[in-house]
Amino acid sequence: RSNVEKFEFQAEVSRLMDIIINSLYSNKDIFLRELISNASDALDKIRFLSLTDKEVLGEGDDTKLEIQIKLDKENKILSIRDRGVGMTKDDLIKNLGTIAKSGTSAFVEKMQTGGDLNLIGQFGVGFYSVYLVSDYVEVISKHNDDKQYVWESKADGAFAISEDTYNEPLGRGTEIRLHLREEAGEYLEESKLKDLVKKYSEFINFPIYLWASKEVDVEVPAEEDDSSDDEEKSESTDGEEKEDEDFDKEEDDEKPKSKMIKEITYEWERLNDVKAIWLRSPKEVTEEEYTKFYHTLAKDFGDEKPMAWSHFKAEGDVEFKAVLFVPPKAPADFYESYYTAKRSNLKLYVRRVFISDEFDELLPKVLLILTRYHLMYLEKCFNSTSSLKTIKKKLLRKALDMIRKLAEEDPDESNDKDPKQVEESEENDEKRGQYTKFWNEFGKSIKLGIVEDAANRNRLAKLLRFESTKSEGKLTSLDQYISRMKSGQKDIFYLTGSSKEHLKKSPFLERLKKKNYEVIFFTEPVDEYVMKYLMDYEDKKFQNVSKEGLKLGKDSKDKEIKESFKELTKWWKETLGGENVDDVKISNRLADTPCVVVTSKYGWSANMERIMQSQTL
């Protein structure tokens, strides 16, 4: 090999590789899933490029968008090849070692605190799982814009790159050669690989082939009973042999000239059938298939089912098919990456060609929030802004419907005043508490949606849950609050603060509690923002009870009292000084506490001041 250049892995990548190579993790199978997923991504990319430039596909075998797996038992090599976009020399250096992805250190941290290696794909470092089973790996790659190169590493802190002048030319794409460790011999068994591909790659959109052995019957000349005869024959002349043949023909039944024996040959065996789940009729797709499909796409290989899914076909101006999922739980960095993450798990396919998973401009933010880790596949075309708008609207509507249904089906959600007749059944038991579960995982998404999506604010507000002075430790909704409102009550009362316990002791509550008004507790920092945007619900105004201007219905004595204490309030205001207080007033919100400091109607609440100081959302 000539022109070998050596590189050191970026420090975090090196640490990650150490962890993987020394891992006692028992489920080493996952490396295959990661390699197939990378191959599929690379194929998606070239197919996308070919939409505008057919030339990129080349000709002959290079046009076949497929994945091939080969075993070399003798040399203990497992290789996976794709005809995807390939990598240039520069890509190889950057993608496989010198630039750490954002998820790298997060994943290293997770692993050090006993995290599950199975999640590796979610952190964007799936490739390195090859070192679970190999001690030496070669990546041979050919990109249209460059020559063929080999990347190789023994995971010893360094990797090498050289121009490939010795392997068979790939045409285009990538071949990963795994030199398997002694104890990873099982991955040289065809049956094992077939099982794994079935298990992990059922929903990969490209054909996957295995160079598989096959027993075939072949016809061979029958051995003669008398071997001396044979010898004679071989010595005989051409002419004599012809005579023999003629003779055999006549006696075919008694003495067969040939027989069938079993022989091993090799051929490409297709392991998956490419069927897009979203194109099938929902009636034909089983719960298990939806679950598996979700696991493949979310790179979430736990055994939990998605909380809900919605599979539908939109008709009318724009036709498309989609599957939306609510994942079983929000990923760890779900909200941290909310404003920065570009890639969503929302994937757009047009005529079965992957188009994009970058949706910041294509879809309203709220849908992004709801779907960043929800998955959707769109089929069929759209090519104008107006159809885009329609798609946005329909997807959002469906996503919200799906979530509303989660609540409706949950027996725990039934309204106290109007208890649903809930049958005691197994199905209901399974659904019991599902909305609370959803709320705990994704409630903040709904709140951020209220802030950002004016058009759907009311629909989202319906999905809000909170505790209140009357919810008895459970979650309640605005609809339930309204159903409990006192006659004559016009506003919805709420209080914001750092915890429920804290708020329960608030002097602002005294009078309201005595008069039997219900007050909502908002205890998350984001709630302050939500309440800046959520002005009313079902014609009822929201009223922060810690702010100036709280009205608890008319009181005829109000004016009289105000007059008689005028001198006192004036004295207080002068004594405290204009810098410290805006005003001093007679209040009707207190029962036992003599006085209270409130914020002005349009100013920040005390809680908001606290949040602004700590700068956390």
d(CA 558, CA 565): 11
Q: Does residue number 464 form part of the binding site for ligand ADP (CB under 6 A)?
A: no
Tell me the C-alpha distance between 197 and 166, whole Å: 30
Is 38 a binding residue for ligand ADP by CB under 6 A? The answer is yes
185 is in an annotated binding site: no
Q: Which of 95, 118, 414, 458 binds ligand ADP (CB under 6 A)?
A: 95
Q: In 10 A of CB 548, how many CB atoms?
A: 15
Tokens representing residue 23 in the block: 């891992």
In the complex with Mg ion, the residue whose CB is nearer, 34 or 528, is 34
Measured distance CA(533)–CA(542) in Å, rounded: 11
Instruction: Compare residues 38 and 153 and give the one whose CB is closer to Mg ion.
Output: 38
Tell me the angle at which helices 525-533 and 434-452 cross, rounded to the nearest 10 degrees. 60
Instruction: Give the nearest distance from C-beta 121 to Mg ion in angstroms.
Output: 6
Q: Which of 16, 20, 30, 39 binds ligand ADP (CB under 6 A)?
A: 39
546 is in an annotated binding site: no
Euclidean distance between CA atoms 43 and 56, whole angstroms:
12
Residue 198, both tokens: 């079935």
Q: Could you say which residues in the range 23-62 bind Mg ion, by CB under 5 A?
A: 38
Per CB under 6 A, does 87 bind ligand ADP? yes
If one asks whether residue 175 binds ligand ADP (CB under 6 A), the answer comes out as: no
Decide: 588 and 557 in contact? Cβ < 8 Å.
no
Is 87 labelled as part of a ligand binding site?
Answer: yes
Number of C-alpha atoms within 13 angstroms, CB side, residue 472? 1
Q: Check residue 344 for interaction with ligand ADP (CB under 6 A).
A: no
CB of 173 to ligand ADP, least distance (A): 7
Q: Provide the edge-to-edge strand list for the sheet that holds 353-358.
A: 353-358, 343-350, 376-378
Q: What type of residue is 69?
A: I
In the complex with ligand ADP, the residue whose CB is nearer, 116 or 574, is: 116
How far apart, in Å, do the first and last CA atoms of the chain sit?
55
Q: How many residues at the interface with Mg ion, by CB under 5 A?
A: 2
Give the nearest distance from C-beta 290 to ligand ADP in angstroms.
23
CA distance 368 to 438: 17
In angstroms, the CA 238 to CA 75 distance is 45
Residue 84 touches which member of ligand ADP, Mg ion, none, C-beta under 5-8 Å by kind: ligand ADP
Site for Mg ion in 123-182 (CB under 5 A): 126
34 is in an annotated binding site: yes
Indicate the residue among 175 and 518 with the shorter CB distance to ligand ADP.
Answer: 175
Of 103 and 525, CB closest to Mg ion: 103
345 counts as binding Mg ion under rule CB under 5 A: no
CA atoms within 13 A on the CB side of 150: 18
Backbone dihedral angles phi then psi of residue 318, each to the nearest 5 degrees: -125, 130
Gap between the Cα atoms of 39 and 42, Å rounded: 5
- For ligand ADP, give the closer residue by CB, 123 or 278: 123
Counting every residue written for the chain, the total comes to 617
Which residue's CB comes closest to Mg ion?
126
Asked whether 293 and 278 are in contact (CB, 8 A), the reply is: no
Q: Find the shortest distance in angstroms from Cβ 71 to Mg ion.
A: 22
* 84 counts as binding Mg ion under rule CB under 5 A: no
Q: Is 525 in the site for ligand ADP (CB under 6 A)?
A: no
Q: Does 174 participate in binding ligand ADP (rule CB under 6 A)?
A: yes
Question: The tokens of 131 are what?
Answer: 């070192």
Decide: is 399 part of the binding site for ligand ADP (CB under 6 A): no
CA distances (Å), 169 to each of 140, 141, 142, 148, in order? 9, 9, 8, 7
Interface of this chain with ligand ADP, residues 103 to 162, rule: CB under 6 A: 124-127
10 Å CB burial of residue 150 (0-12, 13-18, 19+) is buried
By CB under 6 A, tell whether 84 contacts ligand ADP.
yes
Contact flag: residue 331 with ligand ADP (CB under 6 A): no
Strand stretches in 34-191, DSSP E: 67-72, 77-82, 134-142, 148-153, 158-163, 173-180
Instruction: Pick what 366 binds: Mg ion, ligand ADP, none; C-beta below 5 to 8 Å, kind-dependent.
Output: none
Interface segment toward ligand ADP; rule CB under 6 A; list 80-88, 189-197, 227-235, 267-275: 80-88
Please identify, among the stretches 66-74, 118-126, 141-149, 415-423, the one whose residues bind Mg ion according to the rule CB under 5 A: 118-126
Handedness of CA 363, 368, 372, 375 (dihedral sign): negative
Which CB atom, from 86 or from 327, has the smaller least distance to ligand ADP?
A: 86
Candidate residues 42, 78, 307, 463; the one interacting with ligand ADP per rule CB under 6 A: 42
Helix (H, G, I), strand (E, B) or coil at 379: strand
Q: Residue 125 annotated as binding?
A: yes
82 is in an annotated binding site: yes
Residue ranges of the binding site for ATP: 34, 38, 82, 87, 95, 101-103, 122-127, 174
Which residues contact ligand ADP (rule: CB under 6 A)?
A: 34, 38-39, 41-42, 82, 84-87, 95-96, 124-127, 174
